[in-house]
Amino acid sequence: MNLHSSSDIPHGAVLNTIATPPVISGWTPGDEANFGRKPFFLSHTLAGHPLFQLDRLHQLAQDIHAATLDRLSCDCCLRIWRDRPDLSGTERMSSWRSKIQVELAREDFTDALAALFADFRAGRGSMSIMLCLADQIDPDFRALLARERSEIAAIAGVAAPDITFSGLTVIISAPEAVTPYHNDLEQNVLFQIQGCKDVYLYSQDDPVVLPQDVIEAVAAGDGAAARYRAEISNREACYRLEPGLAVHHPLLAPHWVKNDRNLSVSASMFLNTRASDELAHAHQANRILRQMGVHPPPPDLSQPADRLKALMLRKMSGPRDSYSSLYRGMERLKDATAPLRRALDAIRRRAA
């Protein structure tokens, strides 16, 4: 069985269509300086692209499922969910508890997936699906990611060797679906391919929006650590996405997404750099220090102590060969310091 793709679209034809013209356009002179710092719009050529037709994505979902069963890929997976209909609009966008995770039974997976995509083709249904890290299993999506990554690196002034990891995830969202408030530990560009949606982005530099303890929790792998609160209302900027438009999400920028009354197909391209990895490692070290009763200030990689923290966690993490490898060193350090942390906890309990 060909686990990369068995689509009727020849791979060579797809690769030729993504070679020219450039995928991304609409850059302005200020975008290089804003990349990784502020959101901005881009234009792209992926609307109507054969890789993102529902038949092709149905096949991709089957291939990802087969790969996860055979453990052929470290990170790629399918995530299926539906919104809870009993919640208000604010409740739906405030927490991941508003989502109901859906598991398709292995024994009837093929039929259940076919029914899900039949609903997508009809523009109806209540379930949404993420085809995570499609580039790891499909060479056509891998080629597309490489093209997007090189274009962004060239225009944003990011040297190719400084990119440590990248990935491409496809998101098919049901009409009126909501992606709850959260933030991500990578630079992201969200490409809108079919349908319309609104992306509400908040500043990652606003300490009211993003306190230090939340940053450290996200750096430690808690993707649900950021919580929407009433005091940050009206601090967001709304980016209206239509087919052919994309928006850049800076590293750690909190956001939530509201789909229109239409099926939506989007592609999320993310990348990590040496600088973003070093910052994450410094936050991870600070989180462990905080658990030991130390209260370090926010990281400043111009300072030797924070550079040393980042270097230590990077060395303990080993090669950056998967999405989860960013957290490997932190887990090893936690294991190494566990006896000391337990002893300190016991001392604090006796002192109390």
How confident is the model over 327-336, as pLDDT tens digits? 999 999 999 9
Q: What's the pLDDT score for residue 156?
A: 86
Q: 191 has which bridge partners?
A: 246, 267
Domains and CATH numbers, the chain: 11-273 (2.60.120.10), 275-351 (no CATH)
Model confidence at 84, pLDDT cuts 50, 70, 90, reads confident
Distance CA 324, CA 322 (A): 5
Higher per-residue pLDDT: 351 or 196? 196
pLDDT in tens, 212-224: 999 999 999 998 8
Both tokens of 127, joined, read 């379930």
- What does the pLDDT average to over 146-160? 91
If one counts every other C-beta atom within 10 angstroms of the C-beta of residue 49, the result is 18
pLDDT above 80: residue 5: no
Residue 205: half-sphere exposure toward Cβ, Cα within 13 Å: 5
pLDDT, residue 224, reads 84
Neighbouring C-beta atoms of residue 47, cutoff 10 Å = 16
Mean residue pLDDT across the chain: 90
| 8 Å CB contact between 138 and 4 | yes
Give the rounded distance of the alpha carbon of 262 from its chain centre.
Answer: 22
Residue-wise burial string across 89-128, b where 16 or more C-beta atoms lie within 10 A, e elsewhere:
eeebbbbeebbeebebeeeebeebbeebbeebeeeebebb
Q: What is the model's pTM? A: 0.89
Question: Is pLDDT at 74 greater than 70 in this prediction?
Answer: yes
128-132, 143-147, 222-226: segment of lowest average pLDDT: 222-226
Contacts of 264 (CB under 8 A, 6+ apart): 171, 172, 173, 177, 192, 194, 195, 196, 197
> Residue 229's Cα: distance from chain center in Å?
22
Place of tokens 């009206």: 234
DSSP 3-state assignment of 59?
helix
Cα–Cα–Cα angle for 241, 245, 249, rounded to 5 degrees: 75
Query: How confident is the model at residue 124, as a pLDDT?
Result: 86
Q: Does 18 have pLDDT greater than 50?
A: no
Say how many C-beta atoms besides its own lie within 10 A of residue 211's C-beta: 13
Q: Is the pLDDT assigned to residue 89 strictly greater than 80?
A: no
Is the confidence at residue 86, as pLDDT, over 90?
no
Q: What is the pLDDT of residue 20?
A: 65
Q: List the alpha helices (DSSP H) in 243-327.
A: 274-291, 304-317
Check residue 234 and give left, alpha or beta (phi > 0: left; psi -120 to 50: alpha): left
- CA distance to 124, 215, 308, per residue, from 292 (Å): 51, 18, 18
Q: Look at residue 10 in the predicted model and tell me its pLDDT.
A: 41
Residue 9 confidence (pLDDT): 39
Query: Per-residue pLDDT for 161 more than 80?
Result: yes
Q: What is the CA radius of gyration of the chain?
A: 21
At residue 296, does pLDDT exceed 80?
Answer: yes
- Give dist(CA 3, CA 170) in Å, integer: 18
Q: How far apart are CA 269 and CA 310, in angstroms?
A: 25
pLDDT higher than threshold 70 for residue 48: yes
Q: Are strands 163-173 and 127-132 parallel, antiparallel or unpaired?
A: antiparallel
Q: Determine the average pLDDT of the residues in 191-205.
A: 98
Would you give the DSSP letter of residue 41? E
